[in-house]
Amino acid sequence: MKKKFLVKNIVIKNEIKRSIIEVIAIIFYRVYIFILAKIYKKSIYPRISIVDYFLVGNNLSTKRYYGDLENRIKNKNVFFVPTIINTNVIDLISLAKKIKLKKNSFLKESIISVDYFLNSIFYFFRLKKFNRKYNNILEYDFTKIIFDEIKCLKNYNTIIIALNNYFFFKSLKEKNFEIKTSINWFENTAVDKGWNFGLNKFFKKTNSFGYQGFTCYKDFLCLDPVKHEVRYQLIPKKIVIIGKKYLKPKIEFYKKLKILQGFAYRFSYLSETYSKKKNLILVSLNLDNKINKDIVNIVNKSQFLKKKRVVFKIHPALKFCKKDLIDKNHIISNEPFKDLIKKSKVFITAGTSSTMVESICNGVPVVIPFKDDMTEFSLKSIDSPKQLYKVCKNEKNFDKTLSYLLKKNSIYSLKKLNKIKNNYFNLHKSHKLIDFRKLF
């Protein structure tokens, strides 16, 4: 055991601390949402099913997470319960009004009491009980590291949301609600742990599912649960994945996880016919600022891409400055990714995103413009076809790869691509797939 526990090349980084102004801003934001939730509160029938999702900006649509599932269950007593993130303060009032008017949606904060909400906001006053000596791992004492992590406010906003989730279920129980089914958008972060611990503690008989409607991101270890998370009821009772290829990496750390195959709702467009006209050079930026900066730099420096039309697709939660694009022929598109990728000849990206597997399933080669071990590892973990992704060593190799791929005809036949799609996305009805519609 000790031989395996070797530490090499330790890099010490300064702790990221939030200023008092940042903490106050987060408190103000969460308090404002809480007040609006109470002002625009609505009556809810006490026997319900709930679906968890993130509300980005001012758009109430759940399609980014569940495709057209919401439209399929409109006549059932199912509520889509949002977690508000990155919505401008100015837009919060209109957003709260929209949620009140929407028949199948409500805010968690409308259920939570003032006392519980204050417990979430000021949780750090209760941290002293964790300031103790922890058991050594081998001869190593991690006590200071553990407590420093516990009291760190770097993820203050996330912690508030996680605690609100826990108190949400406690409040529902106290108000005598019955929950038939819960679907958690399951990334296994602190936010999800708050949701699932609260649900499992107060609603033991509820159908509990964690839906992972995305591909494989091995750089996020939290996505693949471990034994202790099951033991302490921090995860859903059953995890739903959207393709056969994701099973093996999902159970890497705990083989006894209860895994079900489910429909790939938001990728249903992949069952449509392909576009024959492919001429776009598409670039996608996700939420990793470091990776985005590297992608933009290498595209700006590329001799091959000079004066060529390059289309950028930006993650909806990312704040990106158009001025960072030097070439006038490089543009930002608001067109849906599913439409852009069908028209693309090559796709440039890196980091955590399902778009790479989407691109592969559309027969569009993915170009990772620099050495990115974790992205490559994620693709290898699900046996991605090597002919459909290229990792570039340097800028010269990047230009050479693009030149080669843009001249090349389709790599795979339609028949082979359909086979690839069936491995990565459950797109067709089958008795082997769990049907959420039958659970509500």
| Measured distance CA(192)–CA(163) in Å, rounded | 10
pLDDT given at position 8: 53
CATH architecture of 20-264: 3-Layer(aba) Sandwich (3.40)
Domains 20-264 and 272-411 share a fold: yes
Average pLDDT over residues 339-354: 93
Structure tokens at 207: 């159908």
| Measured distance CA(157)–CA(34) in Å, rounded | 14
Q: Across the chain, how many H-helices and E-strands are there?
A: 16, 12
Percent of the chain with pLDDT over 90: 73
| CA dihedral for 300, 305, 308, 310, sign (positive or negative) | negative
Percent of the chain with pLDDT over 70: 95
> Measured between alpha carbons, how far is residue 232 from residues 186, 205, 241, 303 in Å?
17, 16, 22, 54
Q: How confident is the model at residue 16 (pLDDT cuts 50, 70, 90)?
A: low
Fold of domain 272-411: Rossmann fold (3.40.50)
How many CB atoms are closer than 10 A to CB 158?
Answer: 15
User: What average pLDDT does the structure give for the chain?
Assistant: 91
List, for residues 17-72, the tens digit of each pLDDT value.
Answer: 678 999 999 999 999 999 999 999 999 999 999 999 999 888 899 999 999 999 98
Kindly report the three-state secondary structure assignment for every residue of 55-101: EECCCCCCHHHHCCHHHHCCCCCEEEEEEEECCCHHHHHHHHHHHHH
Query: From the centroid of its chain, how far is CA 19?
Result: 27
322-344 in b/e form (b: 16+ CB < 10 A) is: eeebeeeebeeeeeebbebbbbb
| Measured distance CA(168)–CA(174) in Å, rounded | 10
Q: What is the residue extent of each domain of the chain?
A: 20-264, 272-411
Can you give the pTM of this predicted structure? 0.91
List, for residues 55-69, the tens digit of each pLDDT value.
Answer: 988 889 999 999 999
423 in Cβ contact with 267 (< 8 Å)? no
pLDDT given at position 3: 52
Q: Which residue is it, tokens 């399902």?
A: 354
List, for residues 276-335, the tens digit of each pLDDT value.
Answer: 778 899 999 998 889 999 999 999 999 999 988 999 999 887 888 778 788 888 999 999
**Which is nearest to 60 in space by CA: 87, 38, 41, 33?**
87
Query: From the centroid of its chain, how far is CA 338?
Result: 18
